[in-house]
Amino acid sequence: MRVGKAADTNSEMVGTMREGKLAQKHLLFGEDGSPNNYDLNMGRAGSGGWRTPRHRHNFDQIRYVIKGVLPYGENQFLKQGWVGYFPESVPYGPQDRSEGLETLVLQLGGASGFGYLSVAQREATNAILNEKGEFRKGLYYWKDENGNEQSMDGSDACFEHATGRKLQFAEPRYTDVIAMNPDAFDWLPEGSEGVSVKWLGTFTERNMRIGFVRLDANAVFGAGQHPSLQVLYLTKGRLAVGNDEYGPETGFELLANEGPVAMRALEPTELLCVVFPQF
């Protein structure tokens, strides 16, 4: 099991291809080159907010709104406490996030197997691109060999330069972002006494799952009992794993069939849970 705590993580400004300021704390990373590569991070829109045009990615995204309201399209919003599944190849936006908006974001390789280009790779590439052109309002502009200005989506430009290949998109499996209100779901008992779950959904043929786990005080949850990687994020409460204690804003990574890893709640506790696609 790997653990990442917000309290031990510095903020950094990211998204240089976009407009505005976005500070992120990166809690956990996957393995570059793996179809299950991922980045679990907490983001906060800075002074002046954060804006992106309508666009799409060749990877999946899951967003959990910690504070505020997240716009993800014209008259489309995720309220505080809601979860959104942003499938690969599905366009969303424009986004115009207000200053102070806080979200948890999990970016991960989708069912297509195209994987995920890490933040470190993207930011290094953007620095190179800025030497040859510039990013404006989410687009990348440069001059071709004839001196004519060209443009393309900033994210696409970054991917193509970093990988040396044309950005490809799988055929969309869904037609839109899937917005989920966890309060509309019921808790169901799961395994040990005092442990409940609410699964919000299972997605694609590779069985990616999104849900929450709730523990009563002193209840024990056996994490890591899935055939693929599992990531948990502690939203409220406190728990112990062995002699170590963890509070809110902590992320946990458990490899396929690593568990059961005993997580004992020291007080009523809830965790966001994502089971990754099976490859």
Q: Where are the domains of the chain?
A: 184-275
pLDDT tens-digit readout, 104-147: 999 999 999 999 988 778 888 989 999 999 988 778 999 999 99
Domain 184-275: what homologous superfamily? Answer: Jelly Rolls (2.60.120.10)
d(CA 190, CA 180): 21
Listed range (27-31, 81-85, 96-100, 237-241) with the worst mean pLDDT = 96-100
pLDDT of residue 164: 85
**182, 216, 169: which is closest to 82 by C-alpha?**
182
pTM attached to this predicted model = 0.88
pLDDT tens-digit readout, 187-225: 999 988 999 999 999 999 999 999 999 999 999 999 999
pLDDT of residue 32: 85
pLDDT of residue 241: 98
Listed range (15-29, 85-99, 135-149, 248-262) with the worst mean pLDDT = 15-29
